[in-house]
Amino acid sequence: ACSSGDEGGSSQDKAPKVTGAKTVEIPVGTKADSTGPAAEVPGAVTGGTIYSLQQFDMDHMDPAQIYVSTEAAITVPIMRGLTGYKLDAKGNATLVGDAATDAGTMKDGGKTWTFTLKDGLKWEDGVEVSSADLRHTFERLFATFVTEGPRYVQDFLVGGDKYKGPYEGKSLDSIEVDGKTITFRLKEARADFNFTLAMRAYSLVPKKHDTKEKYDKQPISCGPYKVDNRNIGKSMTFVRNEHWDPKTDAIRNAYPDKYIFQMGYELVASTDRWIADKGTDQYAVPIFNEVAPERIAQVLTNADLKKRVLNAVDTVTYYWPINMTRIKDLKVRQAINYAWPHQQLQTIGGGAYSQEIATTIFAPVTPGYTKFDLYGVDKKPGGDPAKAKALLKEAGKVGQKLVIAYQQSDTAVKTAVAIKNALEAAGFTVVNKQVDKSTFYTQIGKIDNDFDLFAAGWSPDWPNGYSQFYPCWSGKNIGDGRSNYAQLNDPSVNKAIDAASQIADVEEANKAWGNIDKMIMELAAVVPDYHKIRNYLYGSKVGNVLWDNANTCVALCKLYAKK
């Protein structure tokens, strides 16, 4: 392994290219689709234990607090919402009813939604899931301790702005429960509300066992598994929930007896273990631990290893929002875009095998994606310092100081070096500011922060433009801790977002979102960095490792442990 001089060989060509990837549309399934049990996986065997190696533990286990992909992915086996995504053998998703009998019924053009609870759903203590639980699940989202999760439902529901949660005995009138049906009344039409409810944050919580803050440590399951043992920062075990009835679940197969999630593995360490493929590591799958950039070459050039790689295009786009409050000059922002060392950053991130240079905010797999390249990245992937400098000069801002915030990590540090070199070549003065990992998002999320440019990324919460653009680019979503990091508040963009979200026709809407993408790029409010290609290496004894297109993670409930 002394030299890596010779090329990786032909395998290079087989790596997926984002540019060629199809957009992934998720259809809405029928009632029949929503009826369990889930189709058997050919060749799957029951029993055994599946392990995982991952870097971080989950900060939250209370569904209302879950917004992070890892947490969402890992809780699929224990949490069920009204709706969910069902995967076919190839991993193509359909939106179906999960706890509900179907994917919901919309009235008033989307202002009223009704769902019916399935029969035979039980909590892990054997008690039936009741409609009171349903109501409670949604009402508790308004409690003060819920600070992390998404706010869609809270914002959509009529009266949601005043409601303070169920704990003082008040209930929310816009949620109506009648027998097994639950009806939501929304402020404005939301044709995709059933997609919204598929988010993990809206999974069911038993009223009886709701311990408020403490529920975060001890969620109660109604899925095929339950938490047996949790050791924060170290490990977590899921064991079977005997009260789960497969017939009620169209989404989940439950082959292994146990899942053991092991935390605290840096990328390099976990990759090495998968490469070694010894002992229980043979049964290990990654949740979010990709092949470390340092090992990509080794893994992808080795035919044996490559067989064990799950390769998928994620919906996420990583980009660098520019703080519009601080950098008001369009030319300066454009200059940043021109100067950006796309190719070098791609190289640092592991090369074309794990990321593709982005020129848009939309990922190519998200419906609505339109290809465009406003800043000539395709032609000059290494950046165009000359043009950038010219723009800066035009704006009279040569020597403009840019404070770049980045998290403390190996790759981030290298990235920062590359960016600094590139931007300084274009005439900027760059200040690299390392920010505590733990408070990074808090810090850049503050309105009056001291940074001009920072790394962020977003993947839509369900596959359309609304959840891509509204949270991050609507002027209505500016505030401390909100995700409009660029603090973009452009009237025309705001208007366009509002308009697009009202379009019921999917085709039409997608087009509108594609335009918004371009509008924002014209304002240069952001430097798109790359689209992510995931390379997940897994143990040799894990069967049916599938990419879950909708939840954008490894489909935990489709795995089985080979004998």
Partner 1 sequence: MLRFLVRRVTGALVILLIISAITFWLFYAVPRDPAMMSCGKNCTPENLAQIRKNLGIDHSIPVQYWYWLKGVFAGRDYAGYGYCDAPCFGYSFANNVPVFETIMDRLPTTLSLAFGAAAVFLVLGVGAGMLAALKQGRFLDKFASSASLLGSSLQIYFVGYIAMYYFVAQLGWLDQPSWTPFSEDPVAWFSGLLLPWLVLAIIFTANYTRMTRSQLVEQLSEDYVRTARAKGLSRANVFFRFAWRGAMGPIVTVFGIDLGTLIGGAIITEQTFSLPGIGRLAVKSVDQSDLPMLLGVTLLAAGAIVFFNIIVDAVYALIDPRIRLA
Partner 2 sequence: MTPPTPSAAAPLEVTDESVEKSPTPSTSKGGEGRSPGRLAWNRFKRDRTGVISACTVSFFFVVAVAAPLIAKLYGKDPYTTYASQRPELLNPFAYPSGPNGGMSSEFWFGIEPQLGRDVFTFLLYAIRNSLGIALAATVLTVVLGVVIGTTAGYLGGKTDYLVGRVIDILLSFPSTLFFIAFMPVVFGLFVAPDEEIPTWLRATALIIVLSAFGWASIARLLRGQVLGLREREFVEAAKVTGASPGRIVFKELLPNLWTPIIIQTTLMLPAYVTAEAGLAFLGVGMIDPTPDWGVMIARGASFYTEDLTFMLFPGLSMVIFVLAFNLLGDSVRDALDPKSKR
The answer to whether 295 contacts partner 2 (rule: CB under 8 A) is: yes
> Is 396 exposed, middle or buried, given 0-12, 13-18 or 19+ CB atoms closer than 10 A?
exposed
DSSP string, 335-358: HHHHH--HHHHHHHTT-TTTEEE-
Q: Which of 28, 297, 330, 374 binds partner 2 (CB under 8 A)?
A: 297
Only one of the segments 4-12, 116-124, 231-239, 418-426 lies at the binding site for partner 1 (rule: CB under 8 A); that segment is 231-239
Q: Which of 351, 445, 460, 528 binds partner 2 (CB under 8 A)?
A: 351
User: Of the two residues 178 and 450, which places its CB atom closer to partner 2 in the complex?
Assistant: 450
The answer to whether 183 contacts partner 2 (rule: CB under 8 A) is: no
Spatial separation of the C-alpha atoms in residues 557 and 294, rounded to whole Å: 30
Q: Which of 14, 31, 170, 278 binds partner 1 (CB under 8 A)?
A: 278
The answer to whether 234 contacts partner 1 (rule: CB under 8 A) is: yes
User: What six digits make up the tokens of 279?
Assistant: 């002992």
Q: Give least dist CB 276 to partner 2, A.
A: 12
Only one of the segments 250-258, 317-325, 355-363, 474-482 lies at the binding site for partner 1 (rule: CB under 8 A); that segment is 474-482
User: Of the two residues 151 and 207, which places its CB atom closer to partner 1 in the complex?
Assistant: 151
Q: Taking CA 279 as the corner, what is the angle to CA 273 and CA 281, rounded to the nearest 5 degrees?
A: 40
Spatial separation of the C-alpha atoms in residues 333 and 478, rounded to whole Å: 20
Cis preceding linkage at 37, omega within 30: yes
Spatial separation of the C-alpha atoms in residues 257 and 259, rounded to whole Å: 7
The answer to whether 311 contacts partner 2 (rule: CB under 8 A) is: no
331-350 residues in contact with partner 2 (CB under 8 A) are 341, 343-344, 347-348, 350
444 Rama sector, left if φ>0, alpha if ψ -120 to 50, beta otherwise? alpha
Spatial separation of the C-alpha atoms in residues 307 and 538, rounded to whole Å: 10
Spatial separation of the C-alpha atoms in residues 334 and 426, rounded to whole Å: 12
User: Of the two residues 305 and 493, which places its CB atom closer to partner 2 in the complex?
Assistant: 305
Q: Give least dist CB 328 to partner 2, A.
A: 17
Helices 466-473 and 506-523, axial angle in degrees (round to 10): 30
The answer to whether 273 contacts partner 1 (rule: CB under 8 A) is: yes
Spatial separation of the C-alpha atoms in residues 318 and 267, rounded to whole Å: 19
Mask for 200-229, x = binds partner 1 (CB under 8 A): -------------xx-xx------------
Q: Which of 250, 324, 416, 472 binds partner 2 (CB under 8 A)?
A: 416
The answer to whether 422 contacts partner 2 (rule: CB under 8 A) is: yes
The answer to whether 59 contacts partner 1 (rule: CB under 8 A) is: yes
Q: Which residues contact 553 (CB under 8 A, 6 or more apart)?
A: 69, 70, 72, 73, 287, 288, 547
Q: Give least dist CB 280 to partner 1, A.
A: 9
User: Of the two residues 266 and 522, which places its CB atom closer to partner 1 in the complex?
Assistant: 266
242-248 LR contacts (CB < 8 Å, sep 24+): 243/122, 243/123, 243/124, 243/125, 243/126, 244/122, 245/36, 245/120, 245/121, 245/122, 246/36, 246/37, 246/38, 247/36, 247/37, 247/120, 248/36, 248/118, 248/119, 248/120, 248/121
| C-beta separation of 46 from 114 below 8 A | no
87-146 residues in contact with partner 1 (CB under 8 A) are 144-146
Only one of the segments 81-89, 213-221, 411-419, 549-557 lies at the binding site for partner 2 (rule: CB under 8 A); that segment is 411-419
Q: Which residues contact 506 (CB under 8 A, 6 or more apart)?
A: 25, 367, 464
User: Of the two residues 46 and 231, which places its CB atom closer to partner 1 in the complex?
Assistant: 231
Mask for 225-264, x = binds partner 2 (CB under 8 A): ----------------------------------------
How do beta strands 49-54 and 284-286 pair? parallel
Q: Which of 18, 50, 57, 344 binds partner 1 (CB under 8 A)?
A: 57
Spacing of C-alpha 78 from chain mean position: 18
Q: Which of 113, 265, 353, 454 binds partner 2 (CB under 8 A)?
A: 353
446-505 residues in contact with partner 2 (CB under 8 A) are 450-451
> Is 59 exposed, middle or buried, given 0-12, 13-18 or 19+ CB atoms closer than 10 A?
middle
Which whole-number Å values give the CA distances from 130 to 60, 180, 207, 245, 529, in the listed order?
24, 8, 9, 16, 46
Q: Give least dist CB 348 to partner 2, A.
A: 5
Residue 8 interacting entry, from partner 1, partner 2, none, C-beta within 5 to 8 Å by type: partner 2
The answer to whether 414 contacts partner 2 (rule: CB under 8 A) is: yes
User: Of the two residues 411 and 540, which places its CB atom closer to partner 2 in the complex?
Assistant: 411
The answer to whether 304 contacts partner 1 (rule: CB under 8 A) is: no
Residue 231 interacting entry, from partner 2, partner 1, none, C-beta within 5 to 8 Å by type: partner 1
The answer to whether 4 contacts partner 2 (rule: CB under 8 A) is: yes
Per DSSP, helices labelled H in 24-90 are 31-34, 69-74
- Which among 178, 181, 189, 202 is positioned nearest to 106, based on CA atoms? 189
Q: Which of 25, 176, 272, 394 binds partner 1 (CB under 8 A)?
A: 272
| C-beta separation of 539 from 304 below 8 A | no
Interacting residues with partner 2 (CB under 8 A): 1-5, 7-8, 12, 268, 292-298, 300-301, 341, 343-344, 347-348, 350-353, 382, 403, 408, 410, 413-414, 416-418, 420-422, 431-434, 436, 450-451
Interacting residues with partner 1 (CB under 8 A): 57, 59, 65, 67, 144-148, 151, 213-214, 216-217, 231-235, 263-266, 269-270, 272-273, 275-276, 278-279, 281, 408, 436-439, 441-442, 445, 480-483
